[in-house]
Amino acid sequence: MPAVLFRSPNDSSEPWRQALSERIPGLDFRAWPNVGDPADIGFALVWKVPPSFLKEFPNLKAICSLGQGVDHIFADPELPRGPHILRLVDPWMGRAMAEWFLLQVLRFHRQGPDYEAQQRRREWKQLPAPETSTRRVGFLGLGALGAEAAGKVAALGFDVAGWSRTRKSLPGITSYAGPEELDAFLARTDILCGLLPLTPETTDLMDASLFAKLPKGAFVVNAGRGAQLVETDLLAALDSGHLAGASLDVFRTEPLPSDDPLWTHPKVQVWPHVSALTNADSGADQVAENIRRVFAGETPINSVDPDRQY
């Protein structure tokens, strides 16, 4: 059997070695830099490897992301053309992401930022109670993660919509599709929730013109990718008073540099890319299944279309 290569700057190899070896007896699992003969490697399990790294393995049959996103793989200008591109679609991550969006939506909806500011001023003041059924939440992206998060927000009684490339039919969620319906989606969105993959089409999508199309007082949440949001435009929209606040889990530069103004902006909450962390225990079943399928010449699951890049 060909070998599986693991390389990631974020994830430790040992939980994956253990979880995959339990599922595939005799697995030849090699953690970078202990690669051995590059010709032995048939399956690469990777996160943010340097450009040109993957072309060094002449017998690679599949490249699997150690996350749900695959933008880090397509960022390689010398990405080999032949191997399947695979990703995780992990229900554990889906639950984690939905929890994180519930937290962000409820914090803004229940005036958390206002009461936190009042606490800093030792000010005891009751604000008018908000109404759930008229609070309009909008998800950019209704894929594996967006659909689950949107469904859980809708189950609480919010008015929920989602924007995707293709039309969706999801209970309790109004579907907007394609660039021609983006403006109408934004105009009805009080809490914008970003869960898009990073592709050429979604890069810089959340910029000054998009923020201007949201109602005054809207709140922005992003857990997709940092490069989808123009941070200087966000700061300007917050400072002008057009946007009420933002919660961000992803940034153009990660880790966020210590002198970045987002760290200290009073209307911004910074999270260190933790809304849905990769989990070897829950992810190993599908990766083991794909190793088996790829080495048996069968069609893998969770494969990504290289033309769409997600």
Q: 42, 113, 146, 300: which one contacts ligand NAP (CB under 6 A)? A: 146
Q: Which of residues 8, 13, 68, 164 is near ligand GLV by CB under 6 A? A: 68
Instruction: For the CB of residue 288, give the shortest distance to ligand NAP in the complex, in Å.
Output: 20
Q: What are the φ and ψ backbone dihedral angles of 72, each rounded to 5 degrees?
A: -65, -25
Q: Between residue 249 and residue 308, which ones bind ligand NAP under the rule CB under 6 A?
A: 249-250, 273, 275-276
Give start and end residues of each alpha helix (H) in the chain: 13-23, 71-74, 91-109, 112-120, 144-155, 182-187, 208-213, 231-239, 280-295
CB 46 within 8 A of CB 73: yes
Instruction: Select from 69, 113, 151, 283 the one that contacts ligand NAP (CB under 6 A).
Output: 69
CB of 144 to ligand NAP, least distance (A): 4
- Closest C-alpha to 152, from 105, 113, 219: 105
Give the x-and-dash track for 213-242 against ligand NAP (CB under 6 A): ----------xxx-----------------
Identify the residue among 45, 46, 142, 154 touching ligand NAP (CB under 6 A). Answer: 142
Amino acid found at 262: L
* Contact (CB, 8 A) for 15 and 278: no
- In this chain, which residue has its C-beta nearest to ligand GLV? 67
Give whichever of 39 and 274 is closer to ligand GLV, judged by the CB atom.
274
Write down how long the chain is.
Answer: 310
- Reduced DSSP (H G I as helix, E B as strand, rest coil) percent helix, strand, coil of the chain, to 5: 35, 20, 45
Among 6, 46, 57, 69, binds ligand GLV (CB under 6 A): 69
Least distance from ligand NAP to the Cβ atom of residue 283, Å: 11
Q: Is 286 in the site for ligand GLV (CB under 6 A)?
A: no
Note whether 154 and 160 are within 8 A (CB).
Answer: yes
Alpha carbon distances (Å) from 62 to 49, 51, 102, 202, 241 = 15, 17, 35, 25, 48
Min dist CB 230 to ligand NAP, Å, is: 17
Sheet with strand 136-140: strands edge to edge: 173-177, 159-164, 136-140, 191-194, 218-222, 243-248, 268-270
Dig out the tokens for 253 from the structure: 């530069």
Binding part of the chain for ligand NAP, among 43-51, 64-72, 209-217, 286-294 by CB under 6 A, reads: 64-72
Q: How far is the CB of 227 from ligand GLV (least distance, A)?
A: 12
Interface contacts to ligand NAP, rule CB under 6 A: 67-69, 93, 141-146, 163-166, 195-199, 201-202, 223-225, 249-250, 273, 275-276, 310
